Amino acid sequence: MHTIGIDLGAGTAQVGGVVDGEPETVTLGGEREMELAVTFAPSDGEVIVGNSAAEYVETDPGLTVRPLTDADEALRVAVGGRTFEPPTFLALLFEQLLAHAEDSLGGAIERAVVAVPATCQYHRRERIVRAFRQFDAELQAIVSRPAAIGRVRARSADENGRMLICDFGRQRLETSLVAVRPSGEGPLSEVLTADASDELGSERFLESLVNWLAAEFEADAGVDVSDDSSAIYRLRSKATAAVDSFFEGSSTERIRAAHLTSDQHLSVDLTRDLLAALTHKLRAGVVSRCLLALDGAETTTDELDAIRLQGAPASLVAVRETLADRLGQTPTAGSDEVPAIGAALVAADLDRSQTRTADGPGSVLDVAPSSLTAVGPDGSVEPIVERGAPLPTREWCECVPGARETVRLLRDGERYGDLRGEHDAPLRGVEVVIDASGIVRLRPRTDGDEIADAIEITGLLDIPAVEPGELPDVR
C-alpha cells in the first residue's frame, strides 16, 4: 500500500511518492506528467483522458475540457445524450493518475494529498473531494502548491526563512510568500500571502514573441498569418524552442520556419535583449506583483532568503534578471516535480502523525483563496472571511435567510451562490467553517441547535456528486 502526492498544476499533473524514506517522482504511463484534459472523440464521442486528450486541444477545442482552468460554464458538456458535470471530469483524471501510480509503484494507492494552485477556489476544491470519493484511496488533504514547495525547502533548510514564489501557470501568475521552518514548533511551511494575476501567465510571454514573429513574417513576405491557426501553431513551437535555448545559456537564436505559407519562409534572429524588450511591460507587472506579496506579509527584500520561479522557461528567462535587479538576489528555477514531491512529503507527515483531514496537515498551513461576504434580503452586507485569512477558520454569520428568503453569497465581490431558507423556524445564524483544505461548510443554527436542511444552496457551491460506478469507459 502506498501514499502519494498529486500536483494539479495549471495544465498538467505530476505524482510524487516517498519510498524508503526518500521522496521521488512517480512516472505516469512512462511519462513524467499527465495533461489535465478530457476530450470526446469527434467520430463517436468516446472519452479520451490525459496526454492523448491533449492532442485534440488544437484541432477540436470545443470538445476538450480542462477541469482546473476552464471557465465554470464550459465544464458541463452534453455528449451522446448524457451530460457530464465538473466532478466527473476530475474523477476521470484521478482514475488515470491512480492507475498509472499503482503500476509505477507496484501496489495499491491507500492515501493521497493533492496540491492545487494557491488561488484554487472553494467550489473547485469541493469538486476534487467529491471526485475522489469514487476510489478506495483516501484523500487526506488538499494543500496549495506554494505550501508544498515550502515543505520541500524545509527539508534542506538550516534555519527559519522566507521564500517568495512566482508560480507561472499557462494563463495565470501566482505570487506567494512562504515562511519555512526546518524543525521545532509550528508548521514547516506556512503560506503568509497568496495572490494571482490573469494577465501575467506564461502564455502572455509566449504570445508576445509569437506576435512579433507574425509581424516580422508579414513585413518580409507580405502575408498576414494572424488568423492562420496552422501557421500560428508552428510559430508557437518555434518560439518555445528558441526560448528554451535562451534558458540553456544561448544569447542569439535563429528561428526558421520553411513554407510557413505555401511558398513563403520565415528566417529571423532573436536575441536575449530583443526578448527582454518584447516582454518589458510583462516583466514590470511581475515585479509589481512580487512587491505586493512582500507588502502583504510586511516583509522587506532584505528579509527574503530565496526567490523561486516555478513554471515554463518562456516566463523564467524573461523575468529572472529583472527580479534579480529589483529584489537584490537571483531567483532560482524550481523543477516541475517539486510541488508533487512536496505533496508526497505532506502525505508522509500525515501518515506519521495520524492527523485527521479536517484538522489539516500539521506540517503546512494555507490561507483562504478569496473573501466571502453575505448580502441579506434587505441589502445588508456582512463580511464573513477575508482573502488571505489563515486556514482553518470558523466564522459566525448573522445575515441569514428567513423562510423562503434568499441571501446572496459573494466571493471577492462577485456573486458566488445563493442561500435560500427552507425552514420555518427562525435561524440564529450560520456557522461558516473553512477547513485546512479550503473546503467550506455551512451550519445553520437556531438557538443552540444545528438544522442540517435549513438552507438550500445554489450557484457554484451547488456541486453534484459522482455516483459510484458512474464513470464512462475511457479509450
pLDDT digits (tens, 9 = 90+) for 230-282: 899 899 988 888 887 776 667 788 899 888 988 889 999 988 888 888 989 99
Cell of 424: 420555518
Low-confidence ranges of the chain (pLDDT < 50): 355-359
Helix (H, G, I), strand (E, B) or coil at 324: helix
Q: Which residues fall within 8 angstroms of residue 146, CB to CB, at 6 or more apart?
A: 118, 165, 167, 174, 176, 178, 191, 194
Cell of 63: 470538445
Helix (H, G, I), strand (E, B) or coil at 241: helix
State the SS3 of 81-108: CEEECHHHHHHHHHHHHHHHHHHHHCCC
User: Which residues on neighbouring strands pair with residue 173, listed in sequence order?
Assistant: 168, 197
CB 290 within 8 A of CB 319: no
- Domain 2-159+335-362 superfamily per CATH: ATPase, nucleotide binding domain (3.30.420.40)
Using CA atoms, how far apart are residues 121 and 438, in angstroms rounded to an integer?
8
CB 397 within 8 A of CB 382: yes
Contacts of range 120-124, beta carbons closer than 8 Å, 24 or more positions apart: 120/68, 120/144, 120/369, 120/438, 121/369, 121/370, 121/411, 121/460, 122/369, 122/370, 122/372, 122/411, 122/434, 122/438, 122/439, 122/440, 122/461, 123/72, 123/416, 123/460, 123/461, 123/463, 124/68
- Going by C-alpha positions, the residue among 159, 201, 211, 202 that lies closest to residue 180 is 159
CATH 3.30.420.40 domain locations along the chain:
2-159+335-362
Using CA atoms, how far apart are residues 61 and 454, in angstroms rounded to an integer?
41
Helix (H) or strand (E) holding 218: helix 202-221
Cell of 428: 440564529
Helix (H, G, I), strand (E, B) or coil at 122: helix
pLDDT of residue 475: 56
Q: How many CB atoms lie within 10 A of CB 450?
A: 11
The DSSP symbol for 367 reads B
Kindly tell me the burial class for residue 110, based on how many C-beta atoms sit within 10 Å of its own C-beta (0-12, 13-18, 19 or more): middle
Please report where in the chains the cell 476544491 appears, as a residue. Answer: 125
pLDDT of residue 356: 45
- The full DSSP string for 177-190 is EEEE-SSSSS-SEE
pLDDT of residue 469: 57
Using CA atoms, how far apart are residues 149 and 240, in angstroms rounded to an integer?
25
Using CA atoms, how far apart are residues 395 and 373, in angstroms rounded to an integer?
11
Strand ranges across the sheet with 414-421 = 381-385, 372-375, 406-411, 414-421, 455-459
- The full DSSP string for 65-85 is E-TTTS-GGGS-EEETTEEEP
Q: Which amino acid is at 207?
A: E
Q: Which residues fall within 8 angstroms of residue 306, CB to CB, at 6 or more apart?
A: 153, 161, 163, 164, 329, 332
Angle at 172 between CA 169 and CA 176, to 5 degrees: 85
Instruction: Render pLDDT for 43-70 as a digit per residue (tens, 0 to 9).
Output: 666 788 888 877 776 666 666 777 777 6
Q: How many CB atoms lie within 10 A of CB 146?
A: 34
pLDDT of residue 357: 42
Helix (H, G, I), strand (E, B) or coil at 427: coil
CB 416 within 8 A of CB 432: no
Q: How many CB atoms lie within 10 A of CB 165?
A: 28
